[in-house]
Protein backbone atom coordinates (compact mmCIF):
# COMPACT_ATOMS: atom_id res chain seq x y z
CA UNK A 1 0.00 0.00 0.00
CA UNK A 2 1.42 3.33 -1.01
CA UNK A 3 0.63 6.32 1.09
CA UNK A 4 2.18 8.93 -1.13
CA UNK A 5 0.85 12.41 -0.76
CA UNK A 6 0.40 14.46 -3.87
CA UNK A 7 2.70 17.39 -3.25
CA UNK A 8 2.00 18.90 -6.63
CA UNK A 9 5.44 18.37 -8.07
CA UNK A 10 7.98 20.98 -9.09
CA UNK A 11 5.54 23.00 -11.18
CA UNK A 12 3.22 23.61 -8.25
CA UNK A 13 3.32 27.00 -6.62
CA UNK A 14 0.72 26.57 -3.93
CA UNK A 15 2.98 27.19 -0.92
CA UNK A 16 4.36 30.60 -1.70
CA UNK A 17 3.93 33.92 -0.01
CA UNK A 18 2.70 35.30 -3.29
CA UNK A 19 0.48 33.93 -5.97
CA UNK A 20 2.74 32.84 -8.79
CA UNK A 21 1.68 32.05 -12.32
CA UNK A 22 2.39 28.33 -12.90
CA UNK A 23 3.24 29.02 -16.54
CA UNK A 24 5.62 31.99 -16.52
CA UNK A 25 6.34 32.44 -12.77
CA UNK A 26 4.92 35.93 -12.82
CA UNK A 27 4.46 37.07 -9.23
CA UNK A 28 1.18 38.71 -8.33
CA UNK A 29 2.44 41.13 -5.68
CA UNK A 30 -0.90 42.80 -5.12
CA UNK A 31 -2.85 39.57 -4.96
CA UNK A 32 -5.20 40.75 -2.21
CA UNK A 33 -6.43 43.73 -4.23
CA UNK A 34 -6.30 41.80 -7.45
CA UNK A 35 -8.47 38.84 -6.54
CA UNK A 36 -11.89 38.96 -5.00
CA UNK A 37 -12.05 35.30 -4.04
CA UNK A 38 -9.94 32.81 -2.11
CA UNK A 39 -9.86 30.46 -5.05
CA UNK A 40 -10.91 30.31 -8.67
CA UNK A 41 -9.57 31.07 -12.09
CA UNK A 42 -7.59 34.06 -13.14
CA UNK A 43 -5.66 35.15 -16.17
CA UNK A 44 -1.98 35.89 -15.88
CA UNK A 45 -1.16 39.53 -16.55
CA UNK A 46 2.06 38.59 -18.27
CA UNK A 47 1.52 35.41 -20.32
CA UNK A 48 -2.28 35.68 -20.59
CA UNK A 49 -2.73 32.02 -19.65
CA UNK A 50 -5.62 31.04 -17.44
CA UNK A 51 -4.76 29.16 -14.28
CA UNK A 52 -6.42 28.00 -11.13
CA UNK A 53 -5.43 29.47 -7.80
CA UNK A 54 -6.40 28.86 -4.21
CA UNK A 55 -5.38 30.62 -1.05
CA UNK A 56 -3.85 28.57 1.70
CA UNK A 57 -5.28 29.67 4.97
CA UNK A 58 -2.92 29.01 7.81
CA UNK A 59 -4.57 27.45 10.80
CA UNK A 60 -3.36 28.72 14.13
CA UNK A 61 -4.31 27.60 17.58
CA UNK A 62 -5.10 29.55 20.69
CA UNK A 63 -5.89 28.39 24.18
CA UNK A 64 -6.99 29.94 27.41
CA UNK A 65 -8.06 28.58 30.77
CA UNK A 66 -11.77 28.17 31.41
CA UNK A 67 -11.99 28.43 35.17
CA UNK A 68 -15.78 28.41 35.26
CA UNK A 69 -15.96 25.17 33.29
CA UNK A 70 -13.70 23.61 35.91
CA UNK A 71 -15.68 24.89 38.85
CA UNK A 72 -12.88 27.29 39.81
CA UNK A 73 -14.91 30.45 39.25
CA UNK A 74 -18.50 31.46 38.66
CA UNK A 75 -19.97 31.36 35.17
CA UNK A 76 -20.44 34.68 33.46
CA UNK A 77 -24.09 34.22 32.68
CA UNK A 78 -25.78 36.18 29.96
CA UNK A 79 -29.55 36.02 30.24
CA UNK A 80 -31.73 35.20 27.26
CA UNK A 81 -35.46 34.65 27.17
CA UNK A 82 -35.59 30.91 27.67
CA UNK A 83 -32.04 30.17 28.62
CA UNK A 84 -28.85 31.72 29.80
CA UNK A 85 -25.38 31.03 28.61
CA UNK A 86 -21.91 31.61 29.92
CA UNK A 87 -19.96 34.04 27.76
CA UNK A 88 -16.73 32.37 28.84
CA UNK A 89 -17.35 28.64 28.45
CA UNK A 90 -20.61 28.74 26.48
CA UNK A 91 -22.38 26.53 28.97
CA UNK A 92 -26.15 26.74 28.58
CA UNK A 93 -28.75 26.56 31.32
CA UNK A 94 -32.37 26.51 30.31
CA UNK A 95 -34.66 28.68 32.30
CA UNK A 96 -37.79 26.88 33.47
CA UNK A 97 -40.88 28.69 32.37
CA UNK A 98 -43.07 29.81 35.20
CA UNK A 99 -40.35 28.80 37.61
CA UNK A 100 -38.63 30.76 40.35
ZN1 LIG B 1 1.93 33.79 -16.66
ZN1 LIG C 1 -18.72 29.33 32.18
Mean pLDDT, contiguous 10-residue spans, the chain (100 residues): 47 63 87 66 92 82 92 95 93 77
pLDDT score for 79: 94
> Taking the CB of residue 75, how many other CB atoms lie within 10 A of it?
19
**CA pair distance 22, 27, nearest whole angstrom:** 10
Calculate how far, in angstroms, residue 82's C-alpha sits from the geometric centre of ligand 2: 18
Under 8 Å between Cβ of 70 and 93: no
pLDDT score for 42: 87
pLDDT score for 57: 75
pLDDT score for 15: 52
Give the ligand at the shortest distance from the Cα of 85: 2
Give the ligand at the shortest distance from the Cα of 27: 1
Amino acid sequence: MTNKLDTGGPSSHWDRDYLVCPYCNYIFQDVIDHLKYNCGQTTCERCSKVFYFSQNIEITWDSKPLDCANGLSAHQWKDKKTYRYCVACEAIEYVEEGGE
